[in-house]
Structure 1
């Protein structure tokens, strides 16, 4: 909102000065004009607040969707990571544990980032 669009004390003084100059017969027009400016200002501020809230909501929804997709991808990747070391090595369990700890770590870090952004 620029300085010309803001309503303030000076606007009220100007409306009262105009009323003094023009007389009581123009009261309705002055009040209507001032009321329209107030309504436009209120509508603009409400629209700005709604856009801000919608932007925050959309951002947190996108984070949840990314987290879900990341989980699905890692489960898909984790299955071959589990099967290959178990079949190829005599004792592939340490490799599987390390791989799954990495998968859990990446998912936890992403979830923490998504939850951190949601609080902003």
Structure 2
């Protein structure tokens, strides 16, 4: 449902027109009627969203765990992240050395290692879950 629904706008205009024609004694009934229409529209939109979400979950479950990427991404995404960080390490190292000497180089590489460690830590629980024993027992 869009923010400006033309059908609801027509309903509101009709309700306001009826209020001006019928008077304030019918105001509560008119408002209740309009709010009921708004609730029906909202319920229909909500049902569609819930059905779409359930269909997406069923599709993801049918594809299996190999197809669904976790918070750290697929192997290709993780590999690409590592390659990009190494490519960016060259200019970062040069900037660090030029501006602060060996201390700048150390700080630059500590930052690069830190970013990669955090990224790898996001993927670590997923790989641990995949390496469980076939019996299902943890240990």
Which structure is higher in helix share?
A: 1
Which structure has the bigger radius of gyration?
Answer: 1
Q: TM-score range by the shorter chain?
A: 0.3 to 0.5
Q: TM-score, normalised by structure 1?
A: 0.48
RCO comparison, higher one (Cα < 8 Å, 6+): 1
